[in-house]
Structure 1
Amino acid sequence: MASSASQSEVDCTCPVCYDIFTDPVLLLCGHSFCKDCLQQWWRQSRLQTCPVCKEMFLMAQPPRNLALRNLSDTLRRERSQRANSGSEEMCSLHGERLKLFCQDDQQLICLICRDSQNHKKHNCVPINEAAEALRAKLNSKELCLIIKLGWFQAQKLNNDKMAGHIKLQAQQTERTIKEEFLKLYQFLRAEEAARIDAVRKEATLKSEAMNIRIVNLTAEISSLEDRIRT
Structure 2
Amino acid sequence: MAERPEDHVKCPSCLKINEDPFVLECNHSFCRACLQQHTDKGEKSCPTCGTVFNSMEIPENLTRNEPGIFPAGSATSEALCSLHKEELKLFCLDHQELVCIICRDAEKHEGHKFRPLEEVVGSHKERLQESLLRAKKRLEDYQHLRWNCLEQSTYIPVQKEKIVTEIKKAFEELRNVLNTEEEARLAAVRQEEKIKNERMKEKISALSREMTTLSDSIRHVEEHLASSSLSLMKTFQTTLSRIQKLPDKPELLGEALLGEAHHVGNLKIGDTNVWCLNLTFTWSFEPDPKIPDDPSG
Measured against the shorter chain, the TM-score band is: 0.3 to 0.5
Higher helix proportion, which one?
1
- Which protein shows a greater Rg? 1
Normalised TM-score (structure 2): 0.30
